[in-house]
Amino acid sequence: MSKHATTYVPKSAFAKWFESRLPIVGLIHSSFVAFPVPRNLNYWWTFGGVLFFMLVMQIITGVVLAMHYTPNANLAFDSVERIMRDVNYGWLLRYLHANGASMFFVAVYIHIFRNFYYGSYKAPREVLFILGIIIFLLMMATAFMGYVLPWGQMSFWGATVITNLFSAVPIIGDTIVSLLWGGYSVGNPTLNRFFSLHYLLPFMIFGVVILHVWALHVPGNNNPTGIEMKSGKDAVPFHPYMTVKDGFSLVLFLIFFAWWVFYMPNYLGHADNYIPANPSVTPSHIVPEWYFLPFYAILRAVPDKLGGVVAMVAAILIWALVPWLDTSKVRSAVYRPLYRQFFWVWFAVCILLGWLGSKPAEGGYVIAARIATIYYFAHFLIILPLLGLFERPQRMPGSIVESVLGRGAAAPVPAGATAAPQTQG
């Protein structure tokens, strides 16, 4: 994965024999032990590791849950109740998996906002960033289908509202909806295909994550200054510096996670989902999980159904253009006084959209959602391109080591640090 030659030296006769046939230990060593990372990475750079941990945890808890779950419209709800009451530690598995999905999104949103703040999407990391967007879309599809599986009222009606959106697609819309439903409404065939896809997609996410990390290891990490590494003095080896930092961050994150699981495991869910699905009773207020709310607000802000769907999808796809919409030569918001302010306004607009998504689509809420939606898109299409032309960046340090130790300070080269990439963005 790393483009740096491996410094791994197999010691035993078996290790030499094996390495000459499958050099996987050398690959792991160059990618996750000797790999040079900027010495100034802060804690916002630890969430990639947290995300990886959460992905593995979701897969493990999900596979075990699937051993006890029954994907049948008449049995699904009861099978989940059986997991909660009768299966050994079933309650723990289910709460870990359900709250784990939320924590996964907490971590991914932090990871994404970090990228926007420090300009990590800029060249040469565009492909890495776009792979991240693909992961995010797959995560959303997986989470949506997972929420349908307990077959409660919110599962059923959430599935009905969201699958119906596809009918807005011109010409093939109705065909797509029939394919998703496997019939003429949400029912047993829908539950079956959602279960199948909910099991499949995490493994696809895993595959894209491998590409994501590969694409990261070619240019190496960005860092808070946005200046590329120029010499070995700018770098420290991944192990032990980042393994310890990532590990510490993960422990704190798991404490936060455990607090939800053990003290308020149903807080992020919806009470209506403890009522079995009933096609003849519509809940008074259908709300998606919190992590979908900003996009749900955008969907409902547009008066036209197709327009709403297009805006909602575009709200994510537009990120893929950001490497080119952002015309600034400087990466990090640390040295961009105007972008820094606009970033926080945009962040606040995202939070506002999330709140509006949880409110009924009426009166002032809809008007506010329309204004916020317009601002959301203006941030990317107008503000980012113009800022690069008019903003006067602040003075930047000459190198990463200078930003850490001050000008002229002689930095020791940490043991194990190899010469870092010379590319300058």
**Binding residue for ligand HEM, selected from 26, 39, 40, 49, defined by CB under 6 A:** 49
Among 39, 94, 97, 125, binds ligand HEM (CB under 6 A): 125
For ligand HEM, give the closer residue by CB, 163 or 403.
Answer: 403
What is the footprint of ligand HEM within residues 127-156 (CB under 6 A)? Answer: 128-129, 132-133, 135-136
Identify whether the C-beta of residue 320 lies closer than 8 Å to the C-beta of residue 130. yes
Residue 47 as a binder of ligand HEM (CB under 6 A): the answer is yes
Is 245 a residue that touches ligand HEM (CB under 6 A)? no
Contact 230, 123 (CB under 8 A): no
Which of positions 350-409 make contact with ligand HEM (CB under 6 A)? none
Residues 298 and 90: their CA atoms lie apart, in Å, by 37
Among residues 34, 55, 145, 154, the one that binds ligand HEM under rule CB under 6 A: 55
Size of the site for ligand HEM (CB under 6 A): 28
- Which amino acid is residue 420, in one-letter code? A
Beta bridge partners of 276: 152
Q: Which of 298, 306, 270 is nearest to 365 (CA)?
A: 298
Position 237, amino acid = P
Q: Identify the burial level of 379 via C-beta atoms within 10 angstroms of its C-beta, where 0-12 means exposed, 13-18 middle and 19 or more buried.
A: buried
Closer residue to ligand HEM, CB minimum distance, 36 or 150: 36
Those residues whose C-beta lies under 8 Å from the C-beta of residue 303, and which sit 6 or more positions away, are none
Q: Interface with ligand HEM by CB under 6 A: which range of 47-55, 163-171, 187-195, 297-305? A: 47-55
Cβ at position 342, least distance to ligand HEM in Å? 19
Report the residue number, 274 or 347, with the smaller CB distance to ligand HEM: 347
Under 8 Å between Cβ of 296 and 357: yes
Q: Which is nearer to ligand HEM, 45 or 296 (CB)?
A: 45
Which of 108, 299, 301, 383 is in the footprint of ligand HEM by CB under 6 A? 108
Question: x/- contact string, 195-234, with ligand HEM (CB under 6 A)?
Answer: ----------x---x--xx--x----xx------------
Instruction: Calculate the CA dihedral of residues 146, 317, 377, 285 and round it to 10 degrees.
Output: -20
Angle, vertex CA 47, rays to CA 59 and CA 245, nearest 5? 115
Query: Any residues with CB less than 8 A from the CB of 1 and at least 6 apart, and which?
Result: 27, 30, 31, 213, 214, 217
Instruction: Report the residue number, 47 or 376, with the smaller CB distance to ligand HEM.
Output: 47
Binding site for ligand HEM (CB under 6 A): 45, 47-49, 51-52, 55, 108, 111-112, 115, 118, 120-121, 125, 128-129, 132-133, 135-136, 205, 209, 212-213, 216, 221-222
